[in-house]
Structure 1
Amino acid sequence: MNRAPRAAVMGVLLLSPIALTACSAGQVTQTSTQEPNAGNQADLGDVRLRALSLPYPTGGQYASGSDARLVGAIASTSSDEDTLVSIEGEAFDSVEVIDPDAAEPAADAGGSGDLGITVPPNGIVYLSSGQGPTVALVGLTEDIGPGEAIDVTFTFEEAGEITLPVPVGVPTRDLPRGEEFDFHGEEEVSGEEGSVEESSGQEAREQESADSEG
């Protein structure tokens, strides 16, 4: 990437972190009026962490013992490269990294080993987006869901260490709703039942009058 496009991308990332989670427009949905969860962000020297979150889990909750992908971006404004050496936290047992660009697959880092994720000078690393390394927090120690967050510590070789809460994301599509109750249908049924009862009463009175005349 040459200097001009790279500067443009960096500007978008630093000024608008929610760009990573923006969804398409053009139709009104149930979630269109809700505030999207753009993840958390922090600055550490020349390193910028942006839109960090755990994707909305299937079923609405991460169960204790399950794994969760760490989504977000790490940008550098330095002219020198840096390396993310570890990701740690009490809310998970270990970290696993799959880096398609690495010479050989990274092993389970146990939450404290050398992850070896390179942050290029004046560049960006996207986590678990299909454009860079996939990072999984393995063995969550408790149930967590939307509205909750876990503390995660990031350690860089040059920039140092920082801890920040990483939230669980919200749904990016409408969730299925239950079948709506048809109040008009209920009224129609009630009206029909009332008409039947009224008709039956009229027939009974006419029969009773005929019997008395006879």
Structure 2
Amino acid sequence: MNRALRAATMGVLLLNPVALTACSAGQVSQTATQEGDELGAETEVGDITLRQIQLAYPDDGLYETGEDAELQLVIVNAGTEPDTLVGIEGEAFDGVVVSGQAAPSPTVPDSPPATPTTPGATPETTTPSPSPTPTAGTQVDIPIPPRSSVFLGGSDGPTVELADLSEELTTGESIEVTLTFAEAGEVTVPALVSAPDRVLPREDVFDFHEEEEGGEESAEDLALEDESEAGGGPGEPN
């Protein structure tokens, strides 16, 4: 009977670490999933992988109806052939405005312009016309080279604004965005309004030495009080 009891006890002791390990592994997996969700959605279409799909955090924490929202994501081309993002559309906005891309190089003339032959004549000067204001549309032209990544919204990448939102959006809410690639095809993804960058305030450093000194003084005071109560206090009869 004693041997059976010992065997059962040993089985419980051996089982507990396994159970604890399984619980711990489950918690780590859940944490990793939550962190991934905070960074934005991730999906694949063909050789293209889209990561960290989100809308930039608005200055006042809210996108009003009719405002523009910046689309941010990473486009990874894992293939050996180039691809091109040719379209961005959705029901929650009217179109997109792309800026920050390199402008095409100007064409060099084959021969210099002819100079006037009439004495006293001066060459005519032309005033360059201002660049047209980009208008919102659904067609874009963003090259995605092979074996490389393109950041939309990064410091060295193009900026994409979703124009004229049809609804209010705040942190945690999302809209559907459809991206079309020339080779990989079309994919619809949720774009989540990102949270603000939070800077935690620095708190006062806890002084353990001060706490220990305070604890020693309190112990001494309690000892003196006990002696006074036991002796009846100074000047009082026992």
- Whether 1:99 and 2:100 are equivalent positions in the alignment is yes
Q: Which residue is equivalent to 1:55?
A: 56
Deviation at 1:107, TM superposition (A): 3.8
Matched, 1:108 2:135: yes
In the TM superposition, what is the alpha-carbon distance from 1:109 to its structure 2 partner?
4.5
2:68 matched to which residue of 1? 67
Q: Is the 8 A contact 1:97 1:108 kept in 2?
A: no
Match of 1:127 among 133, 148, 152: 152
1:99, distance to aligned residue in structure 2 (A): 3.0
Alignment equivalent of 2:185, drawn from 139, 160, 167: 160
Shift of 1:47: 0.2
* Unmatched 5+ stretches in structure 2: 1-33, 106-130, 202-238
Per the alignment, do residues 102 and 49 of structure 1 end up closer, same or farther by CA in structure 2, a change over 3 Å counting?
farther
Mapped to 1, the partners of 2:160 and 2:186 lie a distance apart of: 18
Tell whether the 8 Å contact from 1:101 to 1:132 is kept in structure 2 after alignment.
no
Q: Distance in 1 between the 2:89 and 2:199 partners?
A: 33
Q: Check if 1:150 corresponds to 2:175.
A: yes
Any residues of structure 2 matched to 1:77-92 within 5 Å, and which?
A: 77-92=78-93
Structure 1 residue ranges (4+ consecutive) displaced by more than 4 angstroms after TM superposition: none
CA drift at 1:102: 3.6
Deviations 1:44-81 (A, max 9, x none): 01001010101111111100000011111101011110
Shift of 1:160: 0.2
> Could you say what secondary structure the match of 2:175 adopts?
strand
Listed one character per residue, the Cα deviations across residues 152-205 of structure 1 (whole Å, up to 9, x for unaligned) are 0000000000001110001112499xxxxxxxxxxxxxxxxxxxxxxxxxxxxx
SS at match of 1:140: coil
Corresponding residue for residue 39 of structure 2: 38
TM-score computed with the length of structure 1 as normaliser: 0.61
State the Cα RMSD in Å.
Answer: 2.2
Matched pairs, number:
141
Worse overlay, 167-176 or 129-138 = 167-176
Amino acid at match of 1:137: L
Note the C-alpha offset of 1:101: 2.1
What TM-score do the two structures reach when normalised by structure 2?
A: 0.55
Q: Secondary structure in 2 aligned to 1:92?
A: coil
Distance (Å, rounded) in 2 between the aligned partners of 1:174 and 1:93: 35
Q: Alpha carbons of 1:98 and 1:82: their partners in 2 closer, same or farther (altered >3 Å)?
A: same
- Could you tell me whether the CA contact under 8 Å between 2:136 and 2:163 is conserved in 1? no
Question: Structure 1: which 5+ runs fail to align?
Answer: 1-33, 177-214
Q: Which has the larger radius of gyration?
A: 2
Which residue of the partner structure matches residue 164 of structure 2?
Answer: 139
Question: Which amino acid counterpart does residue 130 of structure 1 have in structure 2?
Answer: S
Match of 1:21 in 2: none
Displacement of 1:100: 3.1
